[in-house]
Amino acid sequence: MAEALSRRCYPIIVMASGVLMISACSRSQNPEVAPVVSLTTQAGGFRAETASLALECSRALQFRVLFKKNGNWLTLSPEQGLPSSITFELDNQPFASFTFAGAPSLQSGVSTPFGQADQVRVEAKDAANQVSLALDLSFPKDFPDTVIIASHLKNLRPSGSVAVGEFDQASLRVAAGVPRDAKDVLFWSLQGGGYIWGGDYVEPVRAGFSQDNYTGPKGKGNGGGIPFVDLWRPEMGVAVALLDPKPALAWVPVSADAQGMADVKVVTRPGVQLASGETYSPAPVMIAAHQLDFYNPVARYREVMDRLGVRVVRDFLPADYAPAWCTWGYVRTWTLPIILAKAEQMKAMGMKDFILDDGWFDLFGNWEPTPQKFPHGEADMKVLIDKVHSLGLTFRLWWSPGSADPGSEVDRKHPDWFVLDKDGHREKASWNAYYLCPAYAPVREFTRGLVTRFVNDWSVDAFKLDGTDLNHAPLCFNPAHHHTRPGDSFEQWPALFQEISDTARAIRKDFRMEFCPCGITPTFQTISIFEQPTDSDPFDYQVTARVKFLKALLGPHSPVLQEYVGLKGFYEHPYGDQHVLRVDLYPRAIGTGEVPSSFSPVLAKPHAAWTAIYNAQRPAEGEYVNLYDIRWENPEGHVIRKGEKLYYGFFTQTPGQTYSGTVQLRGLNAGHYHVTDYVRGRPVQDVAGPTADLPVKFQDSLLLVAEPSAP
């Protein structure tokens, strides 16, 4: 091997330890591009290393992940007892007995879907020579903290097929040390599976923790999510994700034991038959190492998915950051005089976006104005919209596409439109409705017609699309639809929303859409279509973590909406153990870069005061910057850069508590800054960058702005 490599254009360096280091090899598709990966063989395996990430792989395909921080290599991977990182089932039997078939090779400057990358090729076979496995480990030059692994499984049998069952491409083990007791937090985590209304995305992992993070349907309108998990400690973290441009039926299970070990996997179940000589290649996986909390790897997932064609909205209008009021405070009992009076108050308070929520229509699927509120039907609806517009407000309409109620026109005239399960039963969506199949052309045509009616005929400015069922569609076995496979409905669900957006924007270029999945972890391929995500239905302790997650997933300027501000003492959650909002959410929303929206039926002085504070500063229009770990640091910190100003939000881990101590202002330039508490309008202190420590005492929240000043 050494002789063969020495004839190529890159040198071989034999290190003093006897380990062979290959800087690169001449199979590079672009030899003028400097390599970013060094490849060393060690103990029968290899180590591939960039400036900030290293991946070690044993001959048995066991991975260790390392991260370079402040010049030192750190790892959460134990040295012993590692699982095989690539496993699968063949003919319903577990299979993990692979060893290298030759030495790994390195190509520099390979063109990949993720940009130019250095690529390590590993080939392995099983002892019985039934199948071979090739791994392409791509280290993109644009993402030095990330490795992307593509697996290629080939049937080597001279005849006969092999069934490929469960396929795990990234089984990792991380260690936190033996916990002192069952309450010890081993890791903080971002769990990507979407489960139920009000679920936590960010969770502590303790001994005995287990969650499968299935991203498929879970019944009764629940399901979806992103095939992503991050586990982190104060020193570093490791994230894994499946990189499929389509919504994926995947599992990213996490489990932790009493010895402080946690395992994470990325699993799919293709159920394919490989004929002799055929190769199966699942969607690749991403492994990323990082410091601080989940923000950086979630942002990296967004950036990598962008290269696969799943792109978030980047162009925002000032109206996307406008404070709003929503009729939901009255649930479905509002009347036209009541909500028009609120529109007048909105105008006086500086709120700009009027949201007509649930309760205006008769049935899902009909979407006709209910005669109890609109006795003249569409004519009365148009009068309402015209009056809202006359006040200088925009009109946002609530609806929930993709489902229909029993007894609706759709149900009576088009029973063939519904999603059916294996037994021929309709699949339940949210409320009383049942799913319509997004992969069935008549459903798409019907939905486009509704959009044209709302936008063109009624002059609606924006949609609020709402419901846990909007996160996914179930598998469809309806024979009338002639699907190529049942997963067509699940995979084509985002296309339904893309058509809604395209149809609306063809009529009005500035049309906007809000996505409200009711607190369930959103499916990336769907939420990426919308201009405005909603931090929907949060408990008070969830707000800051959720907005940070959404800013990471959808971009640092994303106008995340918070509809629960101004509700303390009025609204109680219908679910969960903590029914009462212990604090008003205005400061937690504004201080993390959210756009405030309230559905309080009483718009009083506090709403006017907070709306004025928000409109004077508009931190949501700035760029969220990740400089704090919101779980391992106390109090948790957030910072938003807007021009030369830096907006800081500090919050107690438990809402309503008091903090007395020091906070650190990070992200400052080397110059001088004047720091103000912009809620109370009080100067705090003049400081000098790049960091500054401030002694503070506050209850629940502290919002500061740092502006450059003369020395």
pLDDT for the residue numbered 373? 97
Judged by DSSP in three states, 384 sits in: helix
pLDDT for the residue numbered 537? 86
Q: Is the distance from CB of 252 to CB of 229 less than 8 angstroms?
A: yes
CA 636 – CA 546 distance, rounded (Å): 13
Task: For the chain, give every domain's residue range.
Answer: 1-311
User: Measured between alpha carbons, how far is residue 677 from residues 624, 682, 711 in Å?
Assistant: 19, 5, 20
Q: Is the distance from CB of 170 to CB of 285 less than 8 angstroms?
A: yes
Q: Is the distance from CB of 342 to CB of 451 less than 8 angstroms?
A: no
CA 480 to chain centre: 34
pLDDT for the residue numbered 572? 53
Q: What is the 8-class DSSP label of residue 528?
A: T
Phi, psi of 149 (to 5 degrees): -115, 120
Contacts of 567-573 with C-beta under 8 Å, sequence gap 24+, read 567/329, 567/598, 567/599, 567/600, 570/329, 570/600, 570/601, 570/602, 571/329, 571/599, 571/600, 573/198, 573/537, 573/539
pLDDT for the residue numbered 14? 24
Judged by DSSP in three states, 343 sits in: helix
Q: What is the pTM of this model?
A: 0.93
Closest C-alpha to 544, from 618, 391, 648, 436? 648
β-bridge mates for residue 532, sequence order: 514
DSSP line for 261-307: EEEE--EE---EEEPTT-EE-PPPEEEEEESSSTHHHHHHHHHHHHH
Q: Is the distance from CB of 473 to CB of 467 less than 8 angstroms?
A: no
User: Measured between alpha carbons, how far is residue 32 from residues 25, 194, 625, 663 in Å?
Assistant: 12, 45, 35, 48
> What's the CATH number of domain 1-311, 3.30.1330.40, 3.40.50.2000, 2.70.98.60, 3.40.50.620?
2.70.98.60
pLDDT for the residue numbered 580? 64
CA 70 – CA 65 distance, rounded (Å): 17
Closest C-alpha to 83, from 257, 250, 209, 234? 257
Please tell me the number of Cα atoms within 13 Å of 491 on its side-chain side. 12
pLDDT for the residue numbered 12? 22
Which residues does the chain have with pLDDT short of 70? 1-35, 569-580
CA 365 – CA 169 distance, rounded (Å): 42
pLDDT for the residue numbered 34? 61
pLDDT for the residue numbered 570? 61
CA 577 – CA 572 distance, rounded (Å): 11
Q: Is the distance from CB of 223 to CB of 521 less than 8 angstroms?
A: no
User: Measured between alpha carbons, how far is residue 35 from residues 66, 139, 278 in Å?
Assistant: 19, 10, 33
pLDDT for the residue numbered 618? 97
User: Which amino acid belongs to residue 80?
Assistant: Q
Q: Is the distance from CB of 105 to CB of 140 less than 8 angstroms?
A: no
